[in-house]
Structures are given as structure tokens and as C-alpha cells.
Structure 1
């Protein structure tokens, strides 16, 4: 699978830690996705994966979720896209 980043952002505060969001497309998929990211200490990220604009094919979003669980480089790419927008 190939990812194209459409939009990304991340904020940080002491109470919530790092909170980010990345909107992206996956080649061959009809609907774009959005991943919400959270980490208290900039490691051990939790996330939620959603369709970005409107509901799409459930099999496709499940395939993306499985892929992100198995492919650390793909997941890290999304975290990096959000983290790169963080204002220090």
C-alpha cells in the first residue's frame, strides 16, 4: 500500500501530551482516511482510524488498520507527518 499525506497537525501540552491528526489517501482506495494519534511521552502511540469525509468500504479500512498494525514504517510515517508540524 502507498500513502499520500493530505494534511497533518500535532499539538502538545503537559496535561494531554502529544495529540495529532493525519489525513491521508491509500492508493486504490476510494475514500481518504484520518488517523488520530495520542502519546503522553512521544512514544507508545495510541490511535483511532476513521474515514476522513464519508463512510467507505469497511473491508478497505480494516485492511489499512491491519497494515498499520503490521508495518511499523507505515505507522511511523504517519506519526512523523504529524510530529513534523509540531511548533516547539
Structure 2
């Protein structure tokens, strides 16, 4: 799958936890996606995948979710896009 990152953001909350998101498109898919990230210390990351705007095709969504789960490089690309916006 080929992805195109549209927007990314990350910040720390009042307790120092990292909260971020990356909005991206996948070539040939109807809808854009938003992956949100959470980490208490910036080492182990929880994530949630959603549609960025309007709903798309469920089979495409499931394929992207599985792809992110299986491909560490793609997950890291999405995470790094958000982390690179973090103000130090």
C-alpha cells in the first residue's frame, strides 16, 4: 500500500503523556484515515485507527488496520510524522 500523509500533530498533556494523530490517504481508497497515538512515556504506543472524515469501505479500512498492525515500518512512518511536530 502506498500512503500519503496529509496532516500530523503531537503534544504532551498536563501529566506528560504523549497524544498525537496523523491523517493520511492510501492510494486507491475512497476515504482518508486518522490514526491517533497515545503513550505515557514515549516508548510503548497505543493507537486507534478511524476514518478522518466520512466513512469509507469497511474492507479497505480492515486492510489498512491489518497492514499497520503487521508492518512496523509503516506504523513508524505514521508515528514519526506526528512525533516530528512535537515542540521540545
Q: Is the shorter-chain TM-score for this pair beyond 0.5, marking a shared fold? A: yes
1:1-88 to 2 correspondence within 5 Å? 1-13=1-13, 15=15, 17-88=17-88
Partner Cα distance (1:75, 1:59) in 2 = 19
Would you say the 8 A contact 2:17–2:40 is kept in 1? Answer: yes
Partner Cα distance (1:16, 1:52) in 2 = 26
1:24-62 alpha-carbon deviations (Å, 9 max, x no partner) = 000110100001100111111101100111111011011
Give the alignment's TM-score, normalised by structure 1.
0.95
Q: Which runs of 5+ in 2 are unaligned?
A: none
Q: Which runs of 5+ in 1 are unaligned?
A: none
What is the RMSD computed on CA atoms of the aligned residues? 1.0
Give the alignment's TM-score, normalised by structure 2.
0.95
Partner Cα distance (2:13, 2:35) in 1 = 20
For this pair of structures, how many residues does the alignment match? 88
